[in-house]
Amino acid sequence: MKVSVIGCGYLGAVHAAAMVKLGHEVIGIDVDPAKIAKLAAGITPFFEPGLPELLVDGVESGRLRFSTDITDAAGATVHFIAVGTPQQHDSGSADLRFVDAAVDGLIPVLAAGDLVVGKSTVPVGTAAAIAARIDESGSGALLAWNPEFLREGFAVADTLTPDRIVYGVDDERATGVLDEVYAAALESGTPRIVTDFATAELVKTAANAFLATKISFINAMAEIAEVTGADVTTLADAIGHDARIGRKFLNAGIGFGGGCLPKDIRAFSARAEELGRAESVAFLREIDAINLRRRERVVDLAVELLGGSVFEKRIAVLGLTFKPDSDDVRDSPALDVAARLHGLGADVVATDPQGIENSRLRHPQLAYEPDLDEALRGADLVVLVTEWAEYRALAPERVGQLVASPRVIDGRNVLDPDAWKSVGFDYRGLGRR
Ligand SMILES: NC(=O)C1=CN([C@@H]2O[C@H](COP(=O)(O)OP(=O)(O)OC[C@H]3O[C@@H](n4cnc5c(N)ncnc54)[C@H](O)[C@@H]3O)[C@@H](O)[C@H]2O)C=CC1
Ligand SMILES: O=C(O)[C@H]1O[C@H](OP(=O)(O)OP(=O)(O)OC[C@H]2O[C@@H](n3ccc(=O)[nH]c3=O)[C@H](O)[C@@H]2O)[C@H](O)[C@@H](O)[C@@H]1O
């Protein structure tokens, strides 16, 4: 099939390359000429394991092309919308202007029988409004909403072998087209849920709200553990053995960030309010508040460990991205903690295997050091805030030789407290003794 993907960011670039792998011919469209130039040359514009190989294979096969001109989407019969839906700062609701622009651009190129497929995360009700616009255009094209559940860092595998595929449709012809698009994935047994637009949109929003809730739940337990001397990691292991609860997404620490969970729960609250149902998801505001408190907690711990003030104290911040195996610093708790410590007058030296370039764009005032040993050298305090494999594997003896004072805050609860304490470190985890 001939497929277009409108928007080639963290979601769209992976989706475009994966569609080639599933047997289709693909044109990726983006308004960012620098991004398109890289992609067309087979260069991945962001860090995502496995994507470089998939992209190069696609481009070299001649079945994956890129353009900044949406009219190049003409001739494709399936058009995925994968543009951003960022948070509007005042209201917290989703900014749909990129989705609207993509639809405006697509309408003139649509032909009868074409299928427009929304993948961006949108407030419930958006698909019905877009379907009405497509209908009014008289093109004879159809709409489906097909939310995406990939995780950054695992985006390629999650796209090629997802846990489930959800179709929101109002016409069974759309189901037929999507079955063709995903034939290769469906043959390998991926569950497929066919439903209406509103349910499909809500499945996505609900999934992210649930994940955020799980994380804030365990972080709330960490807050209680901190005042009772209990250990939240043991608590998570113990409750996680109950299959009804499960151990995944119960890692207490500095909380969730990224381009999705924070903005999606805020957009959900804003949409519920518009629908007169603010009280139904009022708990999400608490989920957000608990999450943001964990960042403050790390800063408070730093102040405490450094004897009441971080002013002019050298602090090595390990990690800047919102999670390991990504270069994404959107709403990153790690970068936020680094900026807050700097704001209090600390001499922050921040390091990250992939996130320095993006961090520098947002916080040029911070000092960045790509070399881990140099970042650690002379530190009065080490703060681990993104659990990259190389930070998890740090040998406390070696770190002890580099730093000025043996103090560490483990913002992700991934270090062995006994090992660090045994070589003289003052170790603090979050929600741990
Ligand atoms: N990043 C992720 O892991 C996931 C993201 N999503 C959702 O997917 C959507 C996209 O997210 P990301 O890829 O992370 O955002 P992103 O910001 O990385 O990418 C969006 C891209 O759309 C482009 N764009 C904006 N307006 C355009 C237009 N009119 N025509 C063509 N291109 C245009 C931008 O230049 C940018 O490259 C969001 O709704 C997000 O919530 C859903 C699941 C996973
Ligand atoms: O809608 C989206 O964009 C995506 O959002 C999340 O994926 P992602 O943001 O890539 O990352 P996650 O692995 O979910 O982690 C999100 C944040 O939660 C934090 N987290 C995760 C798990 C945990 O136990 N504790 C915890 O603090 C991570 O450090 C990170 O900051 C969802 O997991 C995806 O299913 C979804 O498609």
For residue 89, pLDDT beyond 90: no
- Residue 349 Cα distances to 203, 284, 312, angstroms: 41, 34, 12
**Is the domain of 104 the same as that of 178?**
yes
- In the chain, the amino acid numbered 186 is L
Q: How confident is the model at residue 417 (pLDDT cuts 50, 70, 90)?
A: very high
Q: How confident is the model at residue 90 (pLDDT cuts 50, 70, 90)?
A: confident
With a 6 Å cutoff on the Cβ, whether 249 touches ligand 2 is yes
Planar angle of CA 82, 84, 90, nearest 5 degrees: 155
**Is the domain of 354 the same as that of 221?**
yes
Planar angle of CA 288, 291, 294, nearest 5 degrees: 150
Q: Which of 193, 225, 242 is the last residue of a domain?
A: 193
Number of domains in the chain: 2
Residue of 51, 247, 256, 321 best suited for mutating to test ligand 2, as the one with most atoms within 8 Å of CB: 256
**Is the domain of 178 the same as that of 205?**
no
Closest by CA to 300, choosing from 311, 309, 292, is 309
**Is the domain of 200 the same as that of 187?**
no
Distance of CA 370 to the CA centre of its chain: 23
With a 6 Å cutoff on the Cβ, whether 9 touches ligand 1 is yes
**Closest C-alpha to ligand 2, atom 13:** 151
Find the domain containing 259 and state its range: 196-433
**Is the domain of 158 the same as that of 236?**
no
ipTM value of the model? Answer: 0.98
260 a catalytic residue:
yes
**Is the domain of 131 the same as that of 82?**
yes
Question: Which CATH number does the domain housing residue 161 bear?
Answer: 3.40.50.720
Planar angle of CA 118, 120, 125, nearest 5 degrees: 70
Q: Which DSSP letter does residue 278 get?
A: G
pLDDT at 183 (0 to 100): 96
**Is the domain of 122 the same as that of 267?**
no
With a 6 Å cutoff on the Cβ, whether 250 touches ligand 2 is yes
**Is the domain of 358 the same as that of 227?**
yes
Give the distance (Å) from ligand 2 centre to CA of residue 253.
Answer: 13
Q: Which of 193, 211, 236 is the last residue of a domain?
A: 193
DSSP helix/strand/coil, 27: strand
**Is the domain of 40 the same as that of 176?**
yes
DSSP helix/strand/coil, 409: strand
**Is the domain of 148 the same as that of 204?**
no
Q: Determine the Cα–Cα distance for residues 66 and 60; give it in Å rounded to an integer.
A: 13
Q: Which of 140, 158, 193 is the last residue of a domain?
A: 193
**Nearest ligand, CA of residue 97?**
1
Task: Compute the CA torsion angle 49, 152, 43, 334 (nearest 10 deg).
Answer: -100
Query: The whole model's pTM is what?
Result: 0.97
Planar angle of CA 406, 293, 215, nearest 5 degrees: 95
pLDDT at 215 (0 to 100): 98
What digits encode the pLDDT tens for the residues 214-255? 999 999 999 999 999 999 999 999 999 999 999 999 999 999
Mean of all residue pLDDT scores within the chain: 97
For residue 310, pLDDT beyond 90: yes
**Is the domain of 188 the same as that of 240?**
no
Query: Mean pLDDT throughout 98-108?
Result: 98
